[in-house]
Structure 1
Amino acid sequence: MAGAAELSGRTRPLIAGLILACLLVAASPAQAQVYIPPPDDLIEDLPVLPPAGELPLPQPLPPPPPAPETMTAQQAKAEARAAGSALRENYQDLTQAAGAAAQVPGYDATYPGLTQYYDNPGEMYAAGAAQGYNSEAYRTANSTSRPVVDVTRGDMARATAIEADPDAYLDGVSADGSTGDCTPLPPGPGTPNSAEWTCHVGSKVIEETKSCTSNLVVTEWSALTYQYLCAISGTFNGCSALSGNGQCRRTSSYPVPDYGITIDYYDCSSAVTDPNIYLLGTVPAPPPAGAFEVVSHIYRCNNDGLSAALTYDPVTSFPLEYVTGLQHCGAIGSQPSCTRTTAGTAGLAERDLCKTWDFIGDPLNGGYLTCIEPAAPEQVWSCSASIAGFTPEISTSKWFTESWTTSGCPNDPVACELKSEVCTAPNQTRTIAGVQVTRPCWQKNRSYLCQRIVGGANDCPSLEANSSCTLARESCLDDPPAANGSCGVTERTYSCPIPGTTPEPVQYICGGDVYCLNGECETIEREASDEFKDAAVALNALGQASAEFDEATLTLFRGTRETCSHKLFGLSNCCSGSGVPLLTPLLCSPAEVLLDQKDDAGLCHKVGSYCSSSFLGICKTRKQVYCCFESKISRILQEQGRPQLGKPWGKPKTETCEGFTVFEFQRLDLAIMDFSEVYAEFVEAAKLPDEAATLVEIQRKIEAYYASHQP
């Protein structure tokens, strides 16, 4: 039988063609389902087979020269090996020749007798059971009392290791075939019992919370603009004090040709003293950006229905003044823009109204009026909007600026970040410059998150003290790295046993595969056939290629970029690694928990890590980047196919987990890839029966296994 490498070389173009055909069918909506009608007659005429003629056998080798009389036993063995190797090379392709099947003893070119099961496949199981009952080998193999050997992954790994270097395990065989020294077997993969753990040494970023109270300061904008006039002639410059002043700007210029002068006008934000300039007057300066205007209307009213009345002296009750235009309060108090105040606060004169008067004495001999029924006190209202139907006593408009105090609050915007603020004095009205000013908030409590760097941090003592842990590597997490070559934070990676697991005991193989005849022993060199596993991988790769073909990008086996985070020198670590449970699952997002499950199932490839957040160059949080795939075969094809194509993984910050193009997939050599991880699971997923099993049953079990192991 041809070797595995030759078989893969002959079948690779066929497999690639099948994959392309499946992709075309999967990518075409019109051909998503193809219906093939059954034949009218299940028993069809077979094509005429070629006549069973004599096979063209290779030319015989020339006879070996006669052995010299002085040939030793070792020389005879060497010559026998050479002759056997030559015959094997000449006859290994014999089965591929045309008509080779006819040379097999007992070969029947006609339809076999199994055609009776075409119409009634159920009879196959009954016939098989009957044959098995009459077969001693079947009864022995299916006996419940027979010894059972459980083939594990470790067995297959060891067999592969021995096949790769058989001489390492056959040393120590005596010339008579007896067992000599024993050689330890390589450890089987089994269940992983070690994992990588990380710790850090260097500078640490400490986070602290600080709070403070900030008050709103509201100030009336009362700045004035000073308007000046000056004259310029050919020999005199009366505007020099204004033109060179940064607080002034020229607003207009008027030449006077009759006198040979020019009159310039300037606006200044502050007063300027110079004998050659003239002050025209002052006007309010425009308010700055962020200023707000407060309009105040002061209203007086009474609830006695008076429209005109005499005021009186409350001490003597004598009349003082007759006033008109009095207003009834009505619904002014229900206006949301109005606030009750006092006459003195609003800048009005206090007055008392009299509702009923009486005359005392003789009108002709010096009598007088006195108030016998005072009116109810007038109400004074300050409103920020005009009230229809009412005439204000005073109307003012003022501009105000506002700012928040920062005394006692952190003032370093790099080290401290405002996280929250709570208003403790909302919606209050305060009197400023004689005007009622209402603001949404007058006082806030602010909370800041501040950071500072301390040296000498180290969370590695527990790993360093564990004798079962070994230091694997060190790396600097500074991003970007320091120009002087120093490192602020160093990450150390240790290989430690997983808690709750024990290493497998060492096992040995003694002696070798030896054939002895008449006291002469020879080590047998066996060539393992891997055609079945190659075919199984090819079929599954073909199925995965069809299932994972991305019509949008025309690529195969595309992965998804997924990340997890690890806070340095902290408890939060959502990147436990394959086979290690998350230590702080409650601190991790659902996406990070799902990533850990995918990684444990062998669906993810770790691209690398990078510093995702830092403070003044010191790393605070590290992110690990993974490319996760739909199946283990997809991951293995990506991991072992990229080196063949010269297509490395990108940097962790930018890797997008892109798939293979159809052209790239055609260039892959599956025969040189290591699928031992998948072979072992094939054995566990589909236990072959002791008698021959149908290919349909094998395929069903394999598909059921992969369907149950999807994340």
Structure 2
Amino acid sequence: MSRFALAFFLATALPCFAQAQTTTDAAKADGKAFGKDIGAAAQSAATTQPNADRVPGYSGTPSQSGYFDDPKAMERAAASQASANTGYQTMRNSSASRATFSKVDLDAAIARSKTISEDPLSYTSGMTVGGTQGRCVLLPPASGTAARYKATCNTGYTVDSSTQSCTVTLQASVTTVTDYLYYCPKLDPECTAFDLATCRLTGSHPGKCLQGIDTPTGYKCFEPGDPIAEYTCSEPVAGLTPIRVTPRQVVTTTRDESQCASLAADANCTSPVETCSDSDPVTRTIDGYSITQPCWAWRRDYQCNRFTPAQDCTTLEQTPGCNLEQEYCLTDETPCRTFERVYDCPVPDQPQDPNQFICDGDVYCIDGSCETIQRQPNTEFKDAVVALNAMDQARREFDPNNLTLFKGTRESCSSKVFGILNCCKGKGFPLIPGIQLLVALGCSREEMLLHQKDVQGLCAYVGTYCSSSFLGVCLTKRKVYCCFESKLSRILQEQGRVQLNKPWDKPKTEQCLGFTIDEFARLDLSKMDFSEVYAEFTDAARLPDELQAATQIQQKIEDYYARARP
């Protein structure tokens, strides 16, 4: 290296090296100082008694500290915040309005899919070799039904009220007792000797006469002595001599109630009533003595009530597709002795869906070129028809006086709890023939008309209340319905009330009022299930059989080409 290069290196590199060395030393010194400070702070924190002032961000007593004394307050505060939170409400509304499917329908759809998947070629065949004719295969029949109804039954107790009787007899006996008569001056201290349970004061007489004279009519006393008390005792008094000992017969009568002991001890038997059942003769001879009594025996009647467990829910429990929705007490008694169970059940014996086919593609040919026509099913037609009909129904049922829509009529029917005759079975049960017989047995014509309306799907079940009870057991109940002009009106009311969060009122007070114009405007018809009325609309607007029409058109095209060939 030349001197010039060495000089240049020393002039440039050494100062930089020195500067780097100085920076490193400074960093080490700074690190040591920082470590020393941190160590001192850690040592101070470890040796200093903690307090609230040293907690970062702490200022006073936080409002949440009250939850330690009242944990339920946290739950109430959370519920209050949840009800006002937009996100929470959106989640709840979405959960409440989401589509639901019954287990029966899901099982039926899965079973149908499995049937097709086991032999798919039977349902999805290819085109024929000639390419001029398609093939349609019948799909497995669908099961289940969209129509459902509310069925009710009861559990609890029945009460049997009966009169049970027993006999009370009069038992008479004659015994001989001895009376001991004693005299005692009333001022004589010895009279305390007769303060016995076996002695009683039976009379008194004047004492020995102190002054008197003889008169032609006899001796007349002017100054009688102190009166003498007469005590009669049933046993001798020790140390005293009785004035007279007299035997006598005593008649004793007692009521023998042993036959009624079990009924008297039964808390379910109350209000005993006694009636003389043996009063002839009134005088009878017992042990040689005549004894007279107005009655010698009584019949005692008790009103007894027996509670027996009962239920009539077995049929609904064993019916496929019936789901228990709720159970509530029919009466206001405690403890409750009669419960109503509400089941959601499919309407039996409903017509099945019409046959459905899967077909090869239709083929259209011209000048030797053939194309397959792809068909897209229209699933919106039925919804459009129902929506239009709903608007037309709203126009017809609009009440200009009250500005309401779809007002119903309150109707009710009664039945005995656990009784055989039931005029309120509902649309799940066909109306048996012989209305006159049912009316004769106790069903009114109005109840029969209500049943017919319910079978036609015009009535919505509101609830049941107890109309008569005895000792807390409901004897007769009334089922309340709201009936409408059409099945569509009934569906709009039932499902519309769910969207509006406007449940039916209590059965005793429900008046079947209609929707206001504002309420109807808030309804989302697209979220309602109108499957009950689809068949009615499609039957009313059914076109000629599509498959037959397509076959006829294809045949006409083939005939045309056959005639046009040379």
Q: TM-score, normalised by structure 2?
A: 0.40
Q: TM-score, normalised by structure 1?
A: 0.32
Name the structure with the higher helix share: 2
